[in-house]
């Protein structure tokens, strides 16, 4: 009965429009009262959930990404990507995907990626003769590279939700190859559509221009090197590397490039505070919610249900992916990481899957949910930036969905895709 109340109140609260974070808090508080526990336990579990030192890295990662967004770094990355891959058929689509891979590795935010790169590339693509829905679809689906390619604050959320036994630096390494693989799959899909529709390519500007654009973009790319390299080398903790990355981003955009205005700086600070507050509230109430899920043995019940259907690891992983894909369509990513990790990670470990590999599979899966209606944040933002109706994009986005699903299946069933690099550099 307690589990019914927990899930029922949560579903009702989300259904009437209450934000997911507060819906979890209300459901947890109601269930604690039903069980006769003091209401104070709800807030004790919430506070203990955010009393984790590693979480301090999140505001630094977010702030560094916001500084890069409002400091004009995206234009330099686009110029470099255009000179490097623009000559391929449908060149601007490849520029879009490659730029997302570079910018995502700095900002770690899919929405920031769309806001920065979409506002630059979507109008240019439409001007060059690309269909508006194609331009938006490329931008939206490639933006989730920032979720997988480090540094990503979602990786920190996953590590915390997994109980703190997973190395964040190993997660960073594990996301590199899958992130690149996903972008390659998207580039293949974009190229096939470009050939079919006879979209143009960009002329090669010459090696001198390529070198100059690379030099101009290099300082910005070094932000990711500081954050990830500092963590992997052991020079910094994850939190310290995030702080140094934010300081470097501030010096780079404000002093070196001199493209960060006071207005842009204030906007970056406010946006970082809002994002951090939202994430911390979500983690806090999710801790209370997850405590009750564990109390009612939901992971064990679901594990028994899945193994009753099949004891084949291939089928079990396929069922987990299908469940995550469906949930990703109706709920926000961060909330699902916090809710689903305690449920599905024990099942994955029980069939021999490495927790690091499961984390990358989870991030790619839920990242796809950001591009799917009815709750596709990236899809909504991309359509708003490109001034295109959502239904127009949904009708033609399916080749890009298939590309991401191909990468997801490779990560799910081929452990070497995500685990080789961490093993080599461990």
**Can you say whether residue 352 is alpha, beta or left, with left for phi > 0 and alpha for psi between -120 and 50 degrees?**
left
Q: Tell me: pLDDT of 371 over 80.
A: yes
Q: Tell me: pLDDT of 14 over 90.
A: no
Could you tell me if 374 and 330 are in contact, meaning their C-beta atoms sit under 8 angstroms apart?
yes
Crossing angle of helices 333-350 and 298-309, in 10° steps, is 60
SS3 354: coil
Could you tell me if 112 and 65 are in contact, meaning their C-beta atoms sit under 8 angstroms apart?
yes
pLDDT band for position 306 (50/70/90)?
Answer: confident
Q: Tell me: pLDDT of 107 over 70.
A: no
Among 328, 324, 326, which residue's Cα sits nearest to residue 378? 328
CB atoms within 10 A of CB 292: 23
pLDDT band for position 407 (50/70/90)?
Answer: very high
CA distance 24 to 37: 17
**Can you say whether residue 188 is alpha, beta or left, with left for phi > 0 and alpha for psi between -120 and 50 degrees?**
alpha
> For the whole model, what pTM was predicted?
0.84
pLDDT computed for residue 105 by the predictor: 66
CA distance 253 to 260: 5
CA distance 382 to 53: 34
Kindly provide the b/e burial profile for residues 169-197, where b requires at least 16 CB atoms within 10 angstroms of the residue's own CB: bbbbbbbbbbbbbbbebbbebbbebbeee
Greater model confidence, 119 or 356: 356
pLDDT computed for residue 402 by the predictor: 95
Among 109, 117, 27, which residue's Cα sits nearest to residue 78? 117
Average pLDDT, stretch 34-52? Answer: 82
Location of structure tokens 């001034």: 387
């Amino acid at each position: 009965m307690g589990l019914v109340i927990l899930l029922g109140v949560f579903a009702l609260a989300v259904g009437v429009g209450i934000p997911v974070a507060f819906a979890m808090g209300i459901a947890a508080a109601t269930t604690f009262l039903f069980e006769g526990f003091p209401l104070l336990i709800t807030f004790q579990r919430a506070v203990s959930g955010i009393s984790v030192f590693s979480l301090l890295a999140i505001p630094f990662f977010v702030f560094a990404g916001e500084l890069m967004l409002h400091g004009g770094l995206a234009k330099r990355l686009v110029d470099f990507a255009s000179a490097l891959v623009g000559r391929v058929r449908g060149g601007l689509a490849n520029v879009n995907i490659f730029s997302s891979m570079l910018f995502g590795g700095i900002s770690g935010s899919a929405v920031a990626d769309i806001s920065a790169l979409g506002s630059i590339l979507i109008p240019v693509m439409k001007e060059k003769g690309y269909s508006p829905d194609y331009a938006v679809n490329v931008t939206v689906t490639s933006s989730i590279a920032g979720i997988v390619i480090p540094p990503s604050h979602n990786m920190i959320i996953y590590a915390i939700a997994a109980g703190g036994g997973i190395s964040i630096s190993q997660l960073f390494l594990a996301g590199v190859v899958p992130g690149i693989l996903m972008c390659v799959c998207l580039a293949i899909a974009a190229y096939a559509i470009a050939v079919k529709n006879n979209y143009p390519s960009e002329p090669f500007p010459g090696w001198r221009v390529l070198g100059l654009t690379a030099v101009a973009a290099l300082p910005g790319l070094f932000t990711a090197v500081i954050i990830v390299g500092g963590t992997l080398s052991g020079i910094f903790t994850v939190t310290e590397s995030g702080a140094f990355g934010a300081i470097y981003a501030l010096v780079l955009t404000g002093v070196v490039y001199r493209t960060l205005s006071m207005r842009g700086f204030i906007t970056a600070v406010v946006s970082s505070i809002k994002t951090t507050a939202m994430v911390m509230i979500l983690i806090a109430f999710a801790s209370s919610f997850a405590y009750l899920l564990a109390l009612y043995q939901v992971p064990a019940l679901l594990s028994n249900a899945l193994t009753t259907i099949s004891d084949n690891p291939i089928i079990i992983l396929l069922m987990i992916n299908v469940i995550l894909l469906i949930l990703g369509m109706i709920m926000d990513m961060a909330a699902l990481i916090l809710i689903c990790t305690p449920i599905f990670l024990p099942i994955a470990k029980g069939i021999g899957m490495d927790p690091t590999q499961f984390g990358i599979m989870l991030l790619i899966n839920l990242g796809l949910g950001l591009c799917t209606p009815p709750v596709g944040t990236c899809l909504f933002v991309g359509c708003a930036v490109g001034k295109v109706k959502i239904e127009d994009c949904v009708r033609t986005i399916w080749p890009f969905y298939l590309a991401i699903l191909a990468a997801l299946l490779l990560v799910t069933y081929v452990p070497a895709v995500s685990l080789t690099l961490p093993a080599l550099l461990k």
